Every structure is written in structure tokens, then in C-alpha cells.
Amino acid sequence: MAKLDILTYPDPRLHTVAKPVKEVDDRIRQLVKDMAETMYEAPGIGLAATQVNVHEQVVVIDVSETRDALQVFINPEIVWASDNRKVWEEGCLSVPEVYDRVERPDRVRVRALNEKGETFELDADDLLAVCIQHEMDHLLGKVFVEYLSPLKQNRIKSKLHKRERARM
């Protein structure tokens, strides 16, 4: 399996809207494996295909303590969201070492395809609900920092630009 490169905010490719997967085939299953390896190595708890410059609706998530409960969401859609909202501190593999508070529905129901191409629905709450919403935002071309004030967004961009220049 290949470890994929993760795009870093504010890379404009992170704002590309992902297209639905037409067929869950061996190419998509390999993408899922590569994304899972990349997510675990990073280390992270979720990764959207957009973050690895593949603009198709594929998400991998593992919020387990043991890192052995991979969940795959292909062409995910939220079919229900709670009116109750909760604030969580979020981070993102595309925005390294930046964490901030984002308010989202505290429970969601998502419908998607699994890696076999089978449709399923899942009710999620707590961290899994946050992670699903966060990763689905990526498929829509949105990064979590865009929920923050313009001032915070500019500070984050400056911080990441400085870090990038220091590496060169």
C-alpha cells in the first residue's frame, strides 16, 4: 500500500467539490486501503479523499481507542441531524497542529456505501458524529477553519505559511 500525500490548508485543491463514486470497484477499494494507511500513519481519526487530492466521495474513519475499527463511507449523505448542537475541539490532518472549537449537530444519521458497494445507514453521536460531519465538509470543499472568524483564519494561514517557509 502507498502512503498518500495530504494537502495542507490553504491549498486551493482542498476547496474542490468531490464527485460521487460511480462504481465501487478495485480502484476504489485500493484508494480506501491507501487512505486508511495514510490516516493511521499521520496519525488521524478521519480522512476524506479530497485531502489526498482525489476528488471523489470517499471517507475513512476510525475513532476507536485500539485503531482497529475502520469505517468506510462512499457517497455519504446526512439524512438526519439533531437539532441539539454541541461544541467540540477539532483538528485536521490538512491543518497540522491547529485545534479550535466548532459547533455542530450532536447526532446524525448517515447513508453511504461500504467498500463492497452495499448501502447502509448509521446513527452516530459524540466523536463519530463530529468526525463524519468534518470529513463530509471536505467532500464539499470546506475545511473546519472556515467555521472560525476571519481573524483566526488569517492567523492560521500565516502560521502555516511560516512553517512551510521554515522547511524550505
Maximum Cα interatomic distance, the chain, rounded to a whole number of Å: 46
Whether the CB-CB separation of 129 and 103 falls below 8 Å is answered with no
Q: Count other C-beta atoms under 10 Å from residue 16's C-beta.
A: 17
161 annotated as belonging to a binding site for a ligand: no
> Is 138 within any annotated ligand binding site?
yes
Chain segment 90-101, per-residue pLDDT in tens: 999 999 999 999
Cα gap 1→34, rounded to integer Å: 6
The per-residue pLDDT for 85 is 97
Contact 29, 13 (CB under 8 A): no
For residue 143, the 8-state DSSP code is -
At the second CATH level, the architecture of 12-167 is: Alpha-Beta Complex (3.90)
Do residues 43 and 62 touch, judged by C-beta distance below 8 A? Answer: no
Q: What is the pLDDT of residue 94?
A: 96
Q: Which residue has the cell 459547533?
A: 103
Q: Which position has the grid cell 500500500?
A: 1
Looking at residue 6, its pLDDT comes to 97
Closest CA to 73 of 87, 63, 84, 85: 63
**How many Å separate Cα 146 from the centre of its chain?**
14
**pLDDT value of residue 2:** 61
Q: What is the pLDDT of residue 145?
A: 95
Q: What number of other Cβ atoms are within 10 A of residue 124's Cβ?
A: 20
User: Is 135 among the catalytic positions?
Assistant: yes
The answer to whether 131 is a known ligand-binding residue is: no
The pLDDT tens digits along the chain (168 residues) read 569 999 999 999 999 999 999 999 999 999 999 999 999 999 999 999 999 999 999 999 999 999 999 999 999 999 999 999 999 999 999 999 999 999 999 999 999 999 999 999 999 999 999 999 999 999 999 999 999 999 999 999 898 888 888 887
**Choosing from 23, 115, 135, 146, which is the catalytic residue?**
135
Residue 115: predicted pLDDT: 97
Strands 107-113, 119-125: pairing kind: antiparallel
